[in-house]
Amino acid sequence: MTQMADITVKKADNVTNIIYNQLVPSAGDGIPARWRVNALTTYPPAYRPRMDMLTKPNPGKNARQIELTFAYPVVRVVDGVDTKVGEIPLRMSGTLGDQYTDAEVAEAVHQFTNLAVSTLIVSSIKGGFSPT
Domains of the chain: 7-99 (3.30.380.10)
**Whole-number pLDDT of residue 105:** 96
Category of 85 on φ-ψ map: left (φ > 0), alpha (ψ -120 to 50) or beta: alpha
For 27-64, write each residue's pLDDT tens digit. Answer: 999 999 999 999 867 788 889 999 999 999 999 999 99
Cβ-in-10-Å burial (0-12, 13-18, 19+) of 123 comes to exposed
CB-based contact 67:54 (threshold 8 Å): yes
User: Distance between CA 108 and CA 94 in Å, rounded?
Assistant: 11
Phi then psi for residue 25, to 5 deg, are -75, 160
- Regions in the chain scoring below 70 on pLDDT: 40
pTM (predicted TM-score)? 0.89
Q: If you write DSSP's letter for every residue of 62-115 in order, what string do you get?
A: SEEEEEEEEEEEEEEEETTEEEEEEEEEEEEEEEEETTS-HHHHHHHHHHHHHH
Write down the mean pLDDT value for the chain. Answer: 95
